[in-house]
């Protein structure tokens, strides 16, 4: 019933930009904290950015601070990740996560490749 669907991934050159989106359904979106994680083969999944239900607070990993911006539109059940000044190290599968108390849901992931 609950579904998170990421989109917007692709291949981009270093220094370029991408905007990822995560569309949520089957949940009361405004109750959930939303996060973006990323994972590269052989590495642990890491938190990239998170945002509180009413966009009151945001968090960013040090590695993306100043380059990435997380935002959400509760009317559209969407959370986005604007990624600027992309680096090869940003290459990963990016996952959307929704959390509300004991309820946790993950999207299927979208591939981002930063390569020259």
Cα–Cα distance measured from residue 94 to residue 71, given in angstroms and rounded to the nearest whole number: 15
Give 4's strand partners.
24
What per-residue confidence (pLDDT) applies to 109?
98
Q: How confident is the model at residue 70 (pLDDT cuts 50, 70, 90)?
A: very high
Q: List pLDDT tens digits, range 99-112.
A: 999 999 999 999 99
Q: How confident is the model at residue 114 (pLDDT cuts 50, 70, 90)?
A: very high
Strands 103-106 and 92-100: antiparallel
């Amino acid at each position: 019933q609950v579904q998170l669907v990421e989109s917007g991934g692709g291949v981009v050159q270093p220094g370029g930009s991408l905007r990822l989106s995560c569309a949520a359904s089957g949940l009361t979106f405004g109750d959930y904290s939303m996060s973006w994680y990323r994972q590269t083969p052989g590495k642990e999944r890491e938190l990239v950015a998170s945002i509180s239900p009413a966009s009151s607070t945001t968090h960013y990993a040090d590695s993306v601070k100043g380059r990435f911006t997380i935002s959400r539109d509760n009317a559209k059940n969407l959370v986005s990740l604007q990624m600027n000044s992309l680096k090869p190290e940003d290459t990963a599968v990016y996952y959307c996560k929704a959390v509300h108390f004991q309820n946790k849901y993950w999207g299927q992931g979208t591939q981002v490749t930063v390569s020259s």
